A = this chain, B = another copy of it.
């Protein structure tokens, strides 16, 4: 994938604030153990949920990653959190995929950008 293609796809296209963000920083365990497949499925499934606005994600080669998902409301976040298929993924995240994670829910109040 070229840099230009990544620029198109990596950034979330969001409305004006306010909206909510879920900042999920995490350290992967070694090995895949079904992670990539489930991660792709969760991105796809999240995008179908009411109130979903977008997602941005980066993972370094050492396995440390940050995923920020954006939502219209706290209710939308709570509904996604309790989604049955997502709960199965959360369980596997706790037992298999993440050595450590921090999850923070934050209300975006202001936004700026440099776009080419």
Q: Are A100 and B11 in contact (CB under 8 A)?
A: yes
Q: How often does this chain occur in the complex, in copies? A: 2
A13-37: which have CB < 8 Å to B?
17, 21, 23, 25, 27, 30
Nearest CB in chain B: distance from A44 CB, A: 19
- A side interface size, CB within 8 A: 46
Q: Are B105 and A110 in contact (CB under 8 A)?
A: yes
CA gap between A108 and B21 in the complex, in Å: 9
CA gap between A68 and B64 in the complex, in Å: 13
Max count, chain B CB within 10 A of own CB: residue among A59, A60, A104, A112: A104
Nearest CB in chain B: distance from A87 CB, A: 14
Some 26 contacts from A to B, beta carbons below 8 A apart, are A3-B62, A3-B99, A7-B27, A7-B99, A7-B100, A10-B25, A11-B25, A12-B102, A21-B104, A23-B68, A23-B108, A58-B59, A58-B60, A58-B65, A94-B114, A99-B116, A100-B115, A100-B116, A102-B113, A103-B111, A103-B113, A104-B108, A104-B110, A105-B108, A106-B107, A106-B109
